[in-house]
Homo-oligomer: A and B are copies of this chain.
Amino acid sequence: MQPRVKLWVEKDGLLVFSDYRAELLNHIARTGSIRGGAERMGLSYRRAWGKIKEIEHNLGVRLVQSEAGGVGGGRTRLTAEAEELLARYRAFRAAAESDVSRDFAEAFGRGG
């Protein structure tokens, strides 16, 4: 048997951050645009943009910033706050998954 865990973050009972949202931010960072991040997530630009605005509103932080572009137009980058949010969320996830595995092993033992 294996333990499984799904994690997310709420604020005032509202879902404000999750693996899905972290993945969207990550893809925006990698592709350098909301459009590129949306494509990687199989989302419309409009939906990805709306999700970013929703997270920004719920958490009260700015997540993306645009740089005026040369050839081919500008880039969209994550703000320092978004980078920090991602780093904290990843640290939380890694620690939680490791602890849940250990807790399961302790409760069920090797024989399960």
Residues of A within 8 A of B (CB): 1-11, 16-17, 88-89, 91-92, 95-96, 99-100, 103-104, 106-108
> A10, B4: Cβ atoms under 8 Å?
yes
- CA of A106 to CA of B11 in the docked complex: distance in angstroms? 17
Number of this chain's copies in the complex: 2
Chain B positions within 8 Å of A107 at CB level = 88-89, 91-92, 95
> A9, B5: Cβ atoms under 8 Å?
no
> A92, B3: Cβ atoms under 8 Å?
yes
- CA of A91 to CA of B92 in the docked complex: distance in angstroms? 22
Q: Pick the contact of A3: B91, B96, B103, B104 (CB < 8 A).
A: B96
> B108, A103: Cβ atoms under 8 Å?
no
